[in-house]
Structure 1
Amino acid sequence: MKVFVDGYRRGALNMAIDTALADWVANQEEEILILRFYRWNPPCLSLGRNQDPSVINTDYLKRMGFDLVRRPTGGMAVLHWKELTYAVVAKNSDKRLPRNVIASYLKISTALKKGLNDLGFPVEINDRRASKISHVCFQVPSVNELVISGRKLIGSAQTRRRGSILQHGSILLKAMPKEYLNCFSGLSDYENTFEKTKQGMIGLEDYSGDRVELQKLVDSLIKAFSLVFEDKAEYVSYKELGNDFLERLDEYERMFDSYEWNFERKTLGRFNSNR
């Protein structure tokens, strides 16, 4: 299992790295699992691939200095601020990750749960389907997502492109319901929506009342993934993946930084091909 632990990066670069990793894995002869952890600077609102951007309060994002990027994965909008993001990449043929989407979510959630449980967090896997679709990712947990006392802790999304699976998700350190909802425009019954969102989400620091040591958190999650997926962790750098990876990364960063992708959902370059 190749492991990448990154610091803070812009939203466009974070999505470019995840997408380029998915391409790289798809083009390898052997089955390689990738685990990546990263953060966002400036704070960034990420949209699901098919989400309508008209629901976003772009004036608020500009006023706050927040970034905006459309993910390659589905799902709804997530505010990446007081959180840690994980990404898992594997070949479609990798038998360690079930072909069924819900079952693959469960396998990844099992690893996340173990890593968090080992740190003393009473995280559980939600077994109920979301009863209502919302523009707000953290308002309601989906099936096989992780919760504490029924409140959503991690929001994840997955995509399956030619030859690879990419799943990434936001592990909340602190819930920011007011700032989160202010990223949306035209919400009906704001007070009721705010209360539902506030009661629906929770961060690790909200639960513990203490500051989370990120290195301990990352180390525990890496150990858990190694055990669940039965694969030893190998820390590597992006340069080790070769020039083709770096070229794709540069191309994808331009795409994820473009108005055409973020507001019109127009793909650029090699996004639709792994060749």
Structure 2
Amino acid sequence: MTLFRFIVEQGSQDKILAGEEALLESISNGAQPILRFVIFDPTAVLVGYHQAVEQEVNIDEVKKRGWDIGRRPTGGGTIIMGKEQLGWEIYADASLVGYTPEEAIKRGAEGVIKTLEKLGIKANFRPKNDVEVNGRKISGIGAFSQGKYIAVTGTILVDFNAESMVSVLRLTSEKLKDKLAKDFRDRLTWINRELGKSIEMSQIIELAKASFEEALNVKLENSTYTETEEKLISELRMKYSSPEWIFNLRKPLEGDIKYIEKKLPGGLVKVQVKMAGEKIIESVLITGDFFIEPRRAIYDLEARLKWSRVEDVEKEIRDWYKEVKIIGISADDLVNIFKEVLSK
């Protein structure tokens, strides 16, 4: 039976997210596979890799609450992680968890489902990347890879405050707050809500540890970071706490911008286009809560479209799409989005 190291980390967003990159690097260099549970302290508002903070987050409200803002190295949407949410992460050779992001996500979901079953809560996997209870999401999952090695990261909502979530999102209107809070309560659920009582995080951790051990069919051994991992995490904390990474990686365009957003099975896609005249595209920004492999491929598409002619856009998108993998978004979807935004 394969041996996994088991690590529990409670700390700030920069240390935890630096760990996500460092641990994938470590196992790709021969370290033992890892299951890590994480608790964010202080609370952090985390955007997905392809999102723009200014589009998603009420920055002033986050500062007022004394919370952090961070950017995950995975795709997906904006989430709040604090002491009432358990994060879980798997770092392993893809042969142990799944050769594609979809397979790895589903395997990780099995650990969540077994954890909830031990609490008497019936749950199931909902493609593309959620675990749900009676139609309500209780866990979101993401994945990113490095060669043949993969990281699967997810959450288990132990408790949740819809009003707090809404307060730190950037909304087009204050009137949307009550409606959105109700939507969150309708679409999400959490362990304490399902049980009708509060449960200690330490108990969740013990149940989840046993459940992931079963789901992955591995032996977990309590462990700590290696000296090399500690050093790399320390170095990467500068990156994950830097404004360059958090705010400037995906910066909204300025000036006279054409804009569109579309909800697709693979997630919300937001496209900004700045034109140089009627027929030439000066620049493009594509953001959203989607998942794509390779992770930086969206930059390649933006570079292809920069200074391209409008009539060449479809060919550029279709050529680019042959080299990437996006869950739930087709080449036709992207072509149609650009046709619509360019017609504005």
Smaller-chain TM-score bracket: 0.7 to 0.9
Whole-angstrom CA distance in 2 between matches of 1:12 and 1:150: 33
Q: Which runs of 5+ in 1 are unaligned?
A: 128-142, 267-271
> Which residue of 2 is the match for residue 78 of structure 1?
79
Secondary structure, aligned partner of 2:230: helix
Counterparts of 2:201 and 2:123 in 1: how far apart (Å)?
Answer: 17
Residues 138-177 of structure 1 aligned to structure 2 (within 5 Å) = 143-177=128-162
Deviation at 1:42, TM superposition (A): 1.1
Contact 1:154-1:169 at 8 Å conserved across structures: yes
The one-character-per-residue Cα deviations of 1:32-80 (angstroms, maximum 9, x if unpaired) are 4311111111110011011011121110001111101101111111101
In the alignment, does 2:195 pair up with 1:231?
A: no
Q: Give the Å deviation of 1:210.
A: 1.3
User: Judging changes above 3 Å, is the alpha-carbon distance between structure 1 residues 250 and 163 closer, same or farther for their aligned structure 2 residues?
Assistant: farther
Seq. identity, %:
20
Using the size of structure 1 for normalisation, the TM-score is 0.83
Aligned partners of 2:37, 2:182: CA distance in 1, in Å?
A: 30
**Shift of residue 213, structure 1, vs aligned partner:** 2.4
Contact conserved, 1:116 with 1:217, CA < 8 A, in 2? no
Give the match for residue 259 of structure 1: 243
What aligned pairs does 1:1-275 form with structure 2 within 5 A after superposition?
1-6=4-9, 8-28=10-30, 32-55=32-55, 56-81=57-82, 82-91=84-93, 94-127=94-127, 143-187=128-172, 190=176, 191-238=178-225, 241-242=226-227, 244-265=228-249
The normalised TM-score by structure 2 is 0.67
8 Å Cα contact 2:90-2:151 kept in structure 1:
yes
For residues 111 and 183 of structure 2, what CA distance do their matches in structure 1 show? 28
Report the Cα distance in structure 1 between the residues aligned to 2:34 and 2:41, rounded to whole angstroms: 23
CA RMSD in angstroms comes to: 1.8
For residue 85 of structure 1, report the CA deviation from its aligned partner: 0.9
Structure 1 CA distance for aligned equivalents of residues 185 and 172 of structure 2 = 15
Gaps of 5+ in 2: 251-295, 297-344
Runs of 4+ more than 3 Å apart: none
> Deviation per CA, 1:116-153, whole angstroms, max 9, x where unpaired?
202212222225xxxxxxxxxxxxxxx35211111110
Corresponding residue for residue 279 of structure 2: none
Residues 156 and 167, structure 1, Cα contact 8 Å, conserved in 2? yes
Q: Distance in 1 between matches of 2:113 and 2:155?
A: 14
Whether the 8 Å CA contact 2:71–2:240 is kept in 1: the answer is yes
Residue pair 2:129, 2:142 contacting (<8 A) in 1 also: no
Structure 1 residue 100 displacement after superposition: 2.0
Distance 2:172 2:123 in 1: 30
SS at match of 2:113: helix
1 or 2 for the larger relative contact order (CA 8 Å, sep ≥6)?
1
Output the CA distance in 1 between the equivalents of 2:248 and 2:149: 25
1:269 alignment partner in structure 2: none
Deviation at 1:228, TM superposition (A): 2.2
Do the aligned partners of residues 231 and 67 (structure 1) sit closer, same or farther apart at CA in structure 2, a change above 3 Å counting? same
| Pairwise CA distance, 1:216 | 2.2
SS in 2 for 1:216: helix
- Shift in Å, 1:194: 2.8
Distance 1:4 1:150 in 2: 31
Structure 2 contact 129–140 (Cα < 8 Å) conserved: no
Instruction: Tell me the SS of whatever aligns to 1:90.
Output: strand
In 1, Cα distance between the equivalents of 2:41 and 2:205? 18
Letter in 1 for 2:88: Y
Q: Name which of structure 1's ranges 46-55 and 184-193 shifts more when overlaid on structure 2.
A: 184-193
Letter in 2 for 1:198: R
Q: CA deviation at 1:175?
A: 2.1
